[in-house]
């Protein structure tokens, strides 16, 4: 059996044709295919506006900028995420706070979050950045209630959850990133994600002003939009209204994104089927915990995470058998960079305890039955 990674992209002949066509066209950097990708993605998610960008990290950075973040502004995120969810605040001079996770869902614990924000007057925190970790959606309706009460914005980090959804209090499904509760959401098209463009990302929102702001933040703070121009000298004319860099995606990456998006629903189905098979095959094993299941959640299964007591031994054993599981994530507050701000072991016991046990098993649409059977057989062998 060849080595089995925890995640893997899938590029088809149709993808290659779409990229080829883009490469031979008049546009290499952002052009009509980027706009096409944005329209198709917005439709898939069910949101008004989408802006494609160079990667998910840039998407987070532009969201933080778009909220007019000033030096010292306070943001809150979860310790169990990729470092980018916190770093976007630091890039912009803000202060990062963390709040502990719920031990079952691994998402921000909203009760603990409220305990934190209510210690300060409303408006003390600029924004909360919840993460739909592993593809399990945050209940943004509940978070929005807190956001209104304590006056903070919401930037949903949906890097793991295109196609995920939660049921709101009226039993309507709310897609991750649909902008009904969060001000802004971001996605990543890194190769292990649901849609892969090499590097790539998307920002979604229902707010027209934020949308227009992000369009110009993506490209040096420059606009040609007559609604925003202070002067207008003619067809060539543009104005730089604020400081920003270049976060554009290329047109051939966007072409790949649109092509991949056509298979996103199919990929999601496959991920859920793989999860179901793991659930059924592993649920009886003493010493192993399978992921939480809820009727109110459509899990996007970017990751399939189990918990085991002897995690390092289990990781090494799988690796020795050609199964390259992964750990998501080392708690961000324990990274050396963040420790310099005073964060330390013991600050977030649930996140730290989860980190001792969680491990992501192979999960990607092209994982074959035979490969998954092999993984399951090896896991059973371990226990
Ligand atoms: C939760 C989360 N947020 C943000 C990012 C950043 O995305 P990118 O790698 O596209 O910059 C990732 C990335 O991999 C992620 O897992």
Query: Could you read off the pLDDT tens digit of each residue along the chain, which spans 383 residues?
Result: 789 999 999 999 999 999 999 999 999 999 999 999 999 999 999 999 999 999 999 999 999 999 999 999 999 999 999 999 999 999 999 999 999 999 999 999 999 999 999 999 999 999 999 999 999 999 999 999 999 999 999 999 999 999 999 999 999 999 999 999 999 999 999 999 999 999 999 999 999 999 999 999 999 999 999 999 999 999 999 999 999 999 999 999 999 999 999 999 999 999 999 999 999 999 989 999 999 999 999 999 999 999 999 999 999 999 999 999 999 999 999 999 999 999 999 999 999 999 999 999 999 999 999 999 999 999 999 99
Class of 4-261 per CATH? alpha beta
Domain boundaries, the chain: 4-261, 264-382
Residue nearest to atom 5 of ligand 1 (CA): 56
What is the pLDDT, as a whole number, of residue 1?
Answer: 74
Contact 98, 348 (CB under 8 A): yes
Question: What is the Å distance from ligand 1's center to 110 Cα?
Answer: 22
From the CA of 133, give the closest atom in ligand 1.
1
Cβ burial, residue 164 (10 Å; 0-12/13-18/19+): buried
Q: With respect to CATH, is domain 264-382 assigned 3.90.1150.10?
A: yes
Top mutation candidate among 54, 96, 131, 159 for ligand 1, by most atoms within 8 Å of CB: 159
Confirm whether pTM is higher than 0.75.
yes
- Whether 190 is in the pocket of ligand 1, judged by its Cβ within 6 Å, is yes
- Whether 88 is in the pocket of ligand 1, judged by its Cβ within 6 Å, is no
Question: What is the Å distance from ligand 1's center to 210 Cα?
Answer: 21
- Write out the two tokens for 355: 């980190």
Q: Identify the residue whose tokens are 């554009």.
A: 248
- Write out the two tokens for 203: 């920002």
Distance CA 137, CA 175 (A): 8
From the CA of 55, give the closest atom in ligand 1.
10
**Contacts (Cβ under 8 Å, ≥6 apart) of 119:** none
Question: What is the Å distance from ligand 1's center to 158 Cα?
Answer: 9
Q: Is 76 helix (H, G, I), strand (E, B) or coil?
A: strand
- Write out the two tokens for 211: 């949308």
Question: What is the Å distance from ligand 1's center to 320 Cα?
Answer: 28
Residue nearest to atom 16 of ligand 1 (CA): 82
Taking alpha carbons only, the member of 89, 66, 10, 74 closest to residue 216 is 66
The rounded Cα 166 to chain-centroid distance in angstroms is: 16
- Whether 156 is in the pocket of ligand 1, judged by its Cβ within 6 Å, is no
């Amino acid at each position: 059996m060849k080595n089995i990674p925890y995640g893997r992209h899938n590029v088809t002949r149709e993808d290659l044709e779409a990229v080829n066509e883009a490469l031979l066209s008049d546009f290499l950097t952002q052009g009509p295919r980027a706009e096409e990708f944005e329209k198709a993605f917005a439709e898939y998610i069910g949101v008004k506006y989408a802006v494609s960008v160079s990667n998910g990290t840039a998407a987070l950075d532009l969201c933080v900028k778009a909220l007019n973040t000033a030096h010292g502004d306070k943001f809150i995120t979860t310790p169990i995420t990729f470092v980018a969810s916190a770093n976007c605040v630091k890039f912009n001079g803000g202060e990062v706070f963390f709040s502990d996770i719920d031990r079952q869902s691994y998402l921000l614990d909203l009760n603990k979050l409220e305990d934190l924000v209510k210690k300060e007057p409303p408006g003390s925190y600029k924004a909360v950045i919840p993460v739909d970790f592993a593809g399990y959606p945050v209940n943004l309706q509940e978070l929005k209630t807190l956001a209104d009460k304590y006056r903070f914005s919401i930037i949903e980090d949906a890097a793991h959850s295109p196609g995920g959804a939660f049921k709101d209090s009226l039993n309507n499904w709310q897609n991750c990133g649909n902008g009904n509760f969060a001000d802004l959401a971001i996605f990543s098209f890194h190769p292990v994600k649901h849609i892969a463009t090499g590097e790539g990302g998307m920002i979604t929102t229902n707010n027209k002003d934020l949308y227009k702001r992000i369009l110009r933040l993506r490209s040096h703070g420059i606009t040609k939009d007559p609604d925003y121009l202070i002067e207008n000298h003619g067809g060539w004319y543009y104005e730089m209204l604020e400081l920003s860099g270049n976060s554009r995606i290329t047109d051939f990456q966007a072409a790949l994104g649109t092509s991949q998006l056509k298979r996103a629903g199919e990929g999601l189905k496959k991920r859920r089927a793989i999860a179901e098979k793991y659930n059924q095959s592993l649920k009886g094993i003493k010493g192993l915990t399978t992921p939480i299941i809820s009727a109110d959640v459509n899990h996007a299964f970017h990751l399939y995470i189990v918990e085991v007591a002897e995690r390092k031994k289990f990781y090494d054993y799988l690796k020795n058998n050609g199964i390259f599981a992964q750990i998501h994530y080392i708690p961000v507050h324990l990274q050396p960079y963040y420790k310099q701000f005073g964060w330390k072991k013991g600050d977030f016991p649930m996140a730290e305890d989860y980190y001792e046990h969680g491990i992501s098993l192979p999960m990607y649409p092209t994982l074959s039955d035979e490969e998954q059977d092999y993984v399951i057989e090896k896991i059973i062998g371990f226990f």
